[in-house]
């Protein structure tokens, strides 16, 4: 079945470092891909999305490009801040999943000042 695999955390970086959080997927058909973020003590919120191959989603300085050839949707940010500390979830949806979200396990990001 469809699935999402994220790199294990926690990922610990210093402020202003470059961030990559890897996400790969397995899906039949043509999934839509998402990154959600969960700040401490809060629910998840949509960070960015891409609905077709080569689309780039972006928000708050974060970017991710839908790569069909490598079945990947890696999250990147050029210069992280302490306020980016959170758990990041990659997710997909397809027609086969009735467009319900299939979630990765989440990657905890810790940014040190």
Binding to another protein by residue 43, rule CB under 8 A?
Answer: yes
Choosing from 42, 69, 70, 113, the residue that interacts with another protein (CB under 8 A) is 42
Q: Nearer to another protein by C-beta: 74 or 93? A: 93
Interface region with another protein, contact rule CB under 8 A, candidates 17-25, 56-64, 74-82, 100-108 = 100-108
Interface region with another protein, contact rule CB under 8 A, candidates 11-19, 20-28, 60-68, 95-103 = 95-103
Q: Confirm if 99 and 1 have CB atoms less than 8 A apart.
A: no
| C-alpha triplet 45, 11, 108: angle, nearest 5° | 30
Choosing from 21, 25, 27, 34, the residue that interacts with another protein (CB under 8 A) is 34
Binding to another protein by residue 30, rule CB under 8 A?
Answer: no
Q: Nearer to another protein by C-beta: 17 or 105? A: 105
Q: Cα(22)–Cα(70) distance, rounded to whole angstroms?
A: 12
What SS3 class is residue 8? coil
What SS3 class is residue 82? helix
> What's the length of the chain?
113
């Amino acid at each position: 079945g469809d699935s999402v695999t994220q790199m294990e955390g926690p990922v610990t970086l210093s402020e202003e470092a470059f961030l990559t959080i890897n996400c790969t997927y397995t899906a039949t058909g043509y999934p839509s891909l998402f990154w959600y973020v969960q700040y401490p003590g809060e629910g998840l919120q949509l960070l960015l999305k891409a609905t077709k191959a080569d689309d780039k989603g972006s928000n708050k300085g974060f970017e991710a490009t839908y790569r069909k050839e490598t079945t990947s949707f890696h999250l990147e940010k050029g210069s992280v801040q302490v306020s980016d500390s959170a758990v990041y979830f990659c997710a997909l949806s397809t027609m086969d999943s009735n467009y319900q979200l299939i979630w990765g396990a989440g990657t905890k990001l810790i940014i040190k000042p």
